[in-house]
Amino acid sequence: QHLCYFVVGVLMMVANIIWPVPPTGNPTLDFLLRGPAVMAPMDWLFVLICCLSVLFLSVASSNAYRSVEASVIAPFEYTAIPFGAFWGVVIWGEWPTANAWLGMVLILFGGIYTLYRENIRNIDLATSTPMPAAAAVAQQSFDEEAASDDKPV
């Protein structure tokens, strides 16, 4: 998927360099079809830091979901909602509407309730022990090998 984004992005950039689109007066199209900009070395450093941060956090998130039940980790992902509202206020000065606040509260309480229901009260909805993804793959390949060993030669 990432390779596809990269290839399409490079193709669109090359097309934009070869066939530049003159300003149309439409702010959206003018923004999307503007010419490429040259980044300063300090900007490249920030891009590198962002890339490494996303890579590290993606690996950490994958390992977390692999080692415990998703219902334990998922409520912690809901913290992105108030942080999104916070950064919206800090960066753009946009306060969430009353409906947005209500939605955030409902989502956060739903996550907290799920965590409470499954972990504090020890109610298991799907299984009593987590099965890491690696174990599921190993079990599947073991079953396939066992099935192929049963065939007469």
pLDDT greater than 60 at residue 52: yes
Residue 106 tokens read as 């409902």
Query: Could you give the number of structural domains in the chain?
Result: 1
pLDDT at 8: 93
Judge whether 63 lies within some domain.
no
Backbone dihedral region for residue 25 (phi beyond 0: left; psi -120 to 50: alpha; all else: beta): left
Q: Token digits for 101?
A: 């606040």
Alpha-carbon span 19 to 13, nearest angstrom: 10
Residues spanned by the domain of 114: 68-127
Grouping H, G, I as helix, E, B as strand and the rest as coil, residue 94 is coil
Q: Residue 74: which pLDDT band, with cuts at 50, 70 and 90?
A: confident
Q: What is the pLDDT of residues 121-138, one digit of tens each?
A: 665 555 556 556 555 555
Residue type, 76: F
In a domain, 100, yes or no: yes
Domain membership flag for residue 106: yes
Residue 29 falls inside a structural domain: no
Residue appearing with tokens 């022990």: 129
Q: How confident is the model at residue 140 (pLDDT cuts 50, 70, 90)?
A: low
The whole model's pTM is what? Answer: 0.48
Q: Which two tokens stand for residue 1?
A: 């998927």
